[in-house]
Amino acid sequence: MIFIIVSAILVLDRVSKILVSKYLTLNNSVPLINGIFHISLVHNRGAAFGLLRNQLPLFILTSLVAVILIWRSLRADKHNKVYTIALSLILAGALGNLIDRVFYGYVIDFLDFRIWPVFNVADSAITVGAVILGWSIIFNKNAS
């Protein structure tokens, strides 16, 4: 299950970033629902919301540590399915953005809801995984 989730998210993330980079120029936008949802190519050189801009070595190092710790946690013990799915989503997202940082020096973002900073599939996987993980820890006695 871990391999399937991580692979599916990584493929979706990579393909979407490649397509957006191929068909849009930097900082340009295509409205899909005018004023509500656009595809906008942004190169994010910071962390979430563009924080800590231009700290590439720090982002690569922390991403690598996170990937290793998550992988070790997933491989170490048998967890319940919800916990495994949550960590797999977070792992996939971390890997997707790490690939961008290593090969480009920035993260390719493109999902633009106009009321929120532009993000990508990997960011979405991390967020969904974190919400599921939090929910699982709070509401399930056997979260891990």
Using pLDDT thresholds of 50, 70 and 90, give the confidence band for residue 116: very high
Global pTM reads: 0.89
Sorted by sequence, the CB contacts under 8 Å of residue 112 that are 6+ apart come out as 29, 37, 38, 39, 40, 42, 118
Phi and psi at 38, nearest 5°, equal -130, 160
Sequence length of the chain is: 144
Give yes or no for a contact between 6 and 88, defined as CB atoms under 8 angstroms apart.
Answer: yes
Sorted by sequence, the CB contacts under 8 Å of residue 77 that are 6+ apart come out as 144
Selected catalytic residue, list 13, 100, 112, 123: 123
Indicate if the pLDDT at residue 142 is higher than 60.
no
pLDDT digits (tens, 9 = 90+) for 6-53: 999 999 999 999 999 999 999 899 999 999 999 999 999 877 666 666
Q: Average model confidence (pLDDT) for the chain?
A: 90
The yes-or-no answer on residue 123 being catalytic is yes
Q: How far apart are CA 4 and CA 137, in angstroms?
A: 23
Selected catalytic residue, list 13, 100, 109, 112: 109
Ramachandran area for residue 7 (φ above 0: left; ψ -120 to 50: alpha; else beta)? alpha
81 in helix, strand or coil?
helix
Phi and psi at 27, nearest 5°, equal 65, 15
